[in-house]
Amino acid sequence: MKFGPAAVAALWWITAQAATGLVPDEILVKYRDGGSFAGAAGRSIGHGVRVESVGLSATARSSKRARNDALQRRLATLRADPRVEYAEPNWYGQFAALPTPVTAPNDPKFSSQDWLDKVGARQAWAIAEGRGVTVAVVDSGVDMSHPDLRDNLLPGFDFGDNDGDPQDQHGHGTRVAAVVAALRDNALGGSGLAAKAKVLPVKINPNSSGTFTSAAVAESIYYAVQKGARVINLSLEIDNDTETVKNAVDHAVAAGVIVVAAAGNQGIEVSFPATLSNVIAVASSTADDAIAMHSRNGPEVAIAAPGENIRSAKLGGGFDDVGQSGTSFAAPAVSAAVAALVEVEPRFDRAHIVARLNATGQPLIGETRYKRLDIGRLLLDQLPELRPRSTVLNAATDSLQVDFRLPQHMGPVDLYATVLTPFGEFALTADGGWRDVARQGYRPLLSGYASPAEQTGILFGSGGLFPALRLAGLPAGAYRWRIAQVDASRGALIGPVVESPFTLK
């Protein structure tokens, strides 16, 4: 049996409308002979289309109060007419203003934290700050009574001294923790990038030592998973690859934890554990968006973040006047961004996150394999939620009903829609046809879809915005429908918005 494109045209149509916001029943038509519309208002122009008004240099706005699913057919017919220069749907648009960035916080050292505005922090703070997300900082501990941190600290553990108090005696972990979640707008010190996230301090070094063992790192990772961390930050390098740490990271990833690791400093190749393929390896960028001289680099790096002259919290309660540098401070910026992203997109895994980081990141000078973190764009590009009411449908009698929630401030994105059938995956095309994904890849169905305000409702079906989806004529079998983002410039998949099965009987 062959998958018949005609039989599923209705499915495309509804899917496309769901994602696009067409003005129902309206088509913009321009004839090659620009004078064709003189006095044409109210007249039929054939193909079941009536001219509603004429403007835009002899482009007619045509209207036909007919079923929505006939529009695509009308478009195709009009386009096939040799007199017609073009015919297209009348798309809705939105004003292009972004959510207002939060005003500068009152933290006195914020003005010296240039990197925060560099990565779009104040745009991001209008959307998410890692609320409800735990970031484990596997490090030298954290200054547990630091006034700019303590309210965001969970009780942790000290695997360096094997006690229950992860009090930092070195200073490194306190700085790293403050990059993630120093308290914002508390009139004290500076601000973290995800100031609503909680930090789980896990100490790996004995007392104030600058060294630690791979065994302590592995123990800390298992502990962080057990304590419910969603993100684990590893601003550290180990002299050699170790199976013990690799197994711990594999365990964390299998548990759905995102592991972020510094690429390492003062060397050529990326150091372990950032070399592991299931962590997010972070390089360090400069204020000018070059790769920092101190940063290691290589094919394992997933993203860069500012790592030069980063002012952060100090042992004993203060905040730096002079910044420190290193991939140690770039990694926690990414951990914070991941914490904010999973607050709004809890289903995202490493692959989605890395793709989205790069799709929304800023270009680097002299490095094209990955981008520099832009958390503002990362969070603005939120995705719609679609949820089908039933997943087993009778082709002859049922229609697919889907609840939708379009998030506020969804930034302009490129979307594709496909149906995965027993006969392969088919991508919907703008002209209503189907394209074999296996042969032709993912292409955007539409570009620049945006949602300025949150909307909820039934997308189609009884009481919905659009007519019921008619399934009659489709062969029985297991189907999935998907709507996802693509990076139109590279044709790459950024991540599924929705992937939902349905069975046709």
> Between residue 358 and residue 387, which ones bind Ca ion under the rule CB under 5 A?
none
Q: CB of 72: closest distance to Ca ion in angstroms? A: 55
Q: CB of 322: closest distance to Ca ion in angstroms? A: 18
Task: Identify which range of 157-165, 304-312, 338-346, 474-482 contacts Ca ion by CB under 5 A.
Answer: 157-165
**Pair of tokens at residue 128:** 């998410």
Helix (H, G, I), strand (E, B) or coil at 17: helix
Task: Identify which range of 76-84, 154-162, 251-259, 497-505 contacts Ca ion by CB under 5 A.
Answer: 154-162
Q: Which of 139, 143, 168, 414 is catalytic?
A: 139
Figure out which of the listed residues 148, 300, 381, 487 binds Ca ion, where binding follows CB under 5 A: 148
Q: CB of 219: closest distance to Ca ion in angstroms? A: 14
Task: Identify which range of 9-17, 147-155, 368-376, 386-394 contacts Ca ion by CB under 5 A.
Answer: 147-155
Q: CB of 68: closest distance to Ca ion in angstroms? A: 52
Q: Which residues of 453-486 are buried (b: 16+ CB within 10 A; e: fewer)?
A: eeeeeebbbeebbbbbbbbeebbeeebebbbbbb
Question: Of 108 and 132, which CB lies nearer to Ca ion in the complex structure?
Answer: 108
Question: Of 10 and 204, which CB lies nearer to Ca ion in the complex structure?
Answer: 204
Task: Identify which range of 43-51, 155-163, 346-354, 430-438 contacts Ca ion by CB under 5 A.
Answer: 155-163
Q: CB of 286: closest distance to Ca ion in angstroms? A: 25
35 burial level (CB within 10 Å; 0-12, 13-18, 19+): exposed
| Cα separation values, 405 from 68, 94, 158, 177, 459, Å | 22, 17, 43, 34, 9
Question: Of 158 and 219, which CB lies nearer to Ca ion in the complex structure?
Answer: 158
Figure out which of the listed residues 33, 151, 165, 454 binds Ca ion, where binding follows CB under 5 A: 165
Q: CB of 102: closest distance to Ca ion in angstroms? A: 14
Site for Ca ion contains 161 (CB under 5 A): yes
Rounded (10°) CA dihedral 316, 336, 278, 297 = -80
Task: Identify which range of 143-151, 345-353, 370-378, 484-492 contacts Ca ion by CB under 5 A.
Answer: 143-151
Longest C-alpha distance within the chain, in Å?
88
Asked about 352 being catalytic, the answer comes back as: no
Residue pair 21/466 in contact (Cβ under 8 Å)? The answer is no
Question: Of 202 and 359, which CB lies nearer to Ca ion in the complex structure?
Answer: 202
Site for Ca ion contains 168 (CB under 5 A): no
Asked about 328 being catalytic, the answer comes back as: yes
Q: CB of 191: closest distance to Ca ion in angstroms? A: 5
Question: Of 188 and 252, which CB lies nearer to Ca ion in the complex structure?
Answer: 188
Q: Which of 328, 335, 399, 451 is catalytic?
A: 328
Question: Would you give the DSSP letter of residue 366?
Answer: T
| Cα separation values, 192 from 115, 117, 139, 157, 163, Å | 11, 12, 17, 22, 27
Question: Of 138 and 279, which CB lies nearer to Ca ion in the complex structure?
Answer: 138
Site for Ca ion contains 163 (CB under 5 A): yes
Q: Which of 47, 172, 352, 409 is catalytic?
A: 172
The bridge status of strand 157-158 relative to strand 198-203 is parallel
Q: Within 13 Å of residue 333, how many CA atoms lie on the same side as its CB?
A: 36
| Cα separation values, 387 from 140, 360, 401, 499, Å | 44, 26, 8, 9
Q: CB of 61: closest distance to Ca ion in angstroms? A: 54
Question: Would you give the DSSP letter of residue 469?
Answer: P
Question: Of 178 and 262, which CB lies nearer to Ca ion in the complex structure?
Answer: 178
C-alpha–C-alpha distance, residues 83 and 103, integer Å: 55
Residue pair 130/181 in contact (Cβ under 8 Å)? The answer is yes
Helix (H, G, I), strand (E, B) or coil at 42: coil
Figure out which of the listed residues 158, 343, 374, 414 binds Ca ion, where binding follows CB under 5 A: 158
- The count of chain residues that interact with Ca ion, using the rule CB under 5 A, is 10
Question: Of 144 and 290, which CB lies nearer to Ca ion in the complex structure?
Answer: 144
Over the window 256 to 275, marking each residue x when it contacts Ca ion by CB under 5 A and - when it does not, the resulting string is --------------------
Q: What is the DSSP string of 295-353?
A: B---TTEEEEEE-SSB--B-TTS-B-SS-B-SHHHHHHHHHHHHHHHHHH-TT--HHHH
> Between residue 72 and residue 131, which ones bind Ca ion under the rule CB under 5 A?
107
> Between residue 170 and residue 209, which ones bind Ca ion under the rule CB under 5 A?
183, 186, 188-189
Residue pair 208/234 in contact (Cβ under 8 Å)? The answer is no
Amino acid at 417: A
Q: Which residues are known to be catalytic?
A: 139, 172, 328
Q: Which residues of the chain form contacts with Ca ion (CB under 5 A)?
A: 107, 148, 158, 161, 163, 165, 183, 186, 188-189
